[in-house]
Amino acid sequence: MRNMASSGASARGIAAIVGVGPKLGRSIARRFAHEGYTVAILARDLGRLSRFADEIAREEKAQVFAIRIDCSDSKSVKEAFEGVLSLGFVEVLVYNAYKPAMSWNPINFTDVRIDSFEKSLAVSSVGAFHCAQQVLPGMVERGKGTILFTGCSASLNGIAGFSELCCGKFALRALSQCLAREFQPLGVHVAHVVIDGVVGPPRSICTLAGRGHQRRKGRSWLGNNTAVEVLGIVQDH
């Protein structure tokens, strides 16, 4: 279920990053590792995840753990977080998982397959529900903690030809707002972070200081500063 790139846990607690790929997820994990957190990175591909964990642990001299998770499967989520919680208390949960589109071209609504639609909802919102349920009891008990859900423009506006993505992202935004209102009085900060652009690889040349983006061929490219901004939300609360 997991690969331990190093052992022991930081006094800062665990930063659990769910949905770690080669771009944003890896950059966020690297940033939290750099700031001294013990980092648990979770995704379906344990082989690739283990390589990321080894890389970050080596470069940041950090404690990084790779744990397999299938966010569409509640049993997998429970088992994965048993591994996460065995490391210590979860100070931060970043939920960055979503079902990748087969194509970024619009799909006629009548051509959307029901199993694909349900899978998108399961990963984008139901998986977030299950992950939050795993860490919230500990956060409430300690009276502190941060949960961040990553969204995009599809979280805010319905887009023709992208009903599958938008419905899952809309539901995730609603979940984040409900949790924020319920748990803020108990000391837990919950936020929905809209990342509106195409994310470049770690240390990509498209990263600019300040806002961390530039326009390429009419699209907004985001770099490592996105990860810095995510960390900033945690540090502000």
8 burial type by CB count under 10 A (0-12 exposed, 13-18 middle, 19+ buried) = exposed
Reported as a single tens digit per residue, the pLDDT across 7-43 is 556 778 999 999 999 989 999 999 999 999 999 999 9
Reported as a single tens digit per residue, the pLDDT across 147-160 is 999 998 888 889 89
Of residues 114 and 218, the one with the higher pLDDT is: 114
- The token pair that represents 125 in the structure block: 């919102």
Q: Name which of 121, 146, 140, 119 is nearest 16 in CA terms.
A: 146
Q: What is the pTM of this model?
A: 0.81
Three-class SS state of 139: helix
Looking at residue 104, its pLDDT comes to 74
The chain-wide mean pLDDT, for the chain, equals: 84
CB-based contacts of 14: which residues, under 8 Å, 6+ apart?
37, 38, 39, 40, 84, 87, 88, 89, 90, 91, 92
Task: Kindly report the CATH number assigned to the domain that includes residue 102.
Answer: 3.40.50.720
In the structure, what pLDDT confidence band is assigned to residue 234 with cuts at 50, 70 and 90?
Answer: low
**94: containing domain:** 2-235
Reported as a single tens digit per residue, the pLDDT across 101-127 is 666 789 999 999 999 999 999 999 999
CB distance 136 to 184 below 8 Å: no
Residue 28 and residue 89: Cα distance in Å, rounded? 19
Report the half-sphere exposure of 61 (CA within 13 A, side-chain side): 0
Q: Name which of 102, 188, 198 is nearest 148 in CA terms.
A: 188
**Range scoring the smallest mean pLDDT among 56-65, 155-164, 220-229:** 220-229
Looking at residue 48, its pLDDT comes to 97
Scan for tokens 């983006």, then name that residue.
Answer: 213
pLDDT higher than threshold 70 for residue 188: yes
Query: What's the number of domains the chain is made of?
Result: 1
